[in-house]
Chains A and B, each alone.
Chain A
Amino acid sequence: MAERLTRRQVLAGSGGALTLTVLPRALGAATVPETGDLRAIFKTHFGDQVPTPGGVRLDVSRLVESGLSVAVSVRGDDPQDPPEALYLFMPRNPEPWGLEAHFQPPALPELATRIRLSATQNLTAVARWADGRLGLDSVTVLVTRGACIDENYGQWVR
């Protein structure tokens, strides 16, 4: 009877309980461990410049049922100091660079769209100003069902 419990069996057995106990905690947590390295992503997009928090606002639900379609909106904070470009990064998606938008007056530096999220992660918006300044805003989005589960066939696809 010395059958060893595998990690898989333990997870399967306690799945329901785990979900119930982990969910509220995850909601309260400020950060999520990142598998995707945002710094590396920033480096390829912005070189040695590192975005600092502020100047841009990202609006998104903190808890989403499905990662297949998540409504987001991004805008520059100060109408007197509009950024010329907005970026969206999803560090834990297979492809973390999600959107790049360049604006010219009379366009306002704001947009709303719907995105895919493969897992719970820190969704990050970056704004770039004409003088080279970079600002960011980041929201931890808890995704209960990621976009990488195939809707029809229920299997993981990567």
Chain B
Amino acid sequence: MGTLSLPVRLALPEEAQAGRVVSLRLLLQHPMETGYRIGEDGARIPRHLLTALRVSYGDRVIADLTLRPAIAANPYFALSFIADQTGPITLEVEDDRGRKLTETRMLTVVP
């Protein structure tokens, strides 16, 4: 499986109080090309999509999203979860060419 490389902006606090809601905001720079558009040369622009987004907290997959052409270019997602343990937050993004991007941040949970 190849590596997917694209600009990622991730907003996630480094520290959170136990039991509090943590919000995670993610902006990926990607065309989300649907395959319906016609380019300047009159030919269809080939489909090129991000297809999956998974968020793990520790060893639990807490959100698993299937992305479809209806997701706008430069996909934005806001998710939230309750802080219950110190651990890594891992994002996995997949595209339709079998490539994968992984991004990990540590979340420290204080009592």
Q: Which stretch from A13-21, A29-37, A128-136, A147-155 is at the chain B interface?
A: A147-155
A100 in contact with B70 given A112-B78, A114-B76 (CB within 8 Å):
no
- Chain B count of residues within 8 A CB distance of the other chain: 32
Q: CB distance A116 to B82 under 8 Å?
A: no
The chain B residue with its CB closest to the CB of A96 is: B70
* Complex Cα gap A114–B25 (Å): 12
Q: A106-B62, A148-B36 are in contact. Are A114 and B75 (CB under 8 A)?
A: yes
Size bracket, chain A contacts: 35 or more
Given contacts A108-B80, A111-B78, contact A101 B72 (CB under 8 A): no
In the complex, the answer to whether B66 meets A99 with C-beta atoms within 8 Å is yes
Where the two chains meet, the residues of B that have a C-beta atom closer than 8 Å to any C-beta of A are 21, 34, 36-38, 40, 55, 57, 60-73, 75-84
Known: A103-B62, A110-B79, A116-B71. 9 other contacts (CB 8 A): A69-B72, A88-B70, A101-B63, A101-B66, A104-B62, A105-B82, A107-B79, A111-B65, A116-B34
A positions within 8 Å CB-CB of B = 68-70, 73, 88, 90, 93-95, 97-108, 110-117, 147-148, 150, 152-153, 155, 157-158
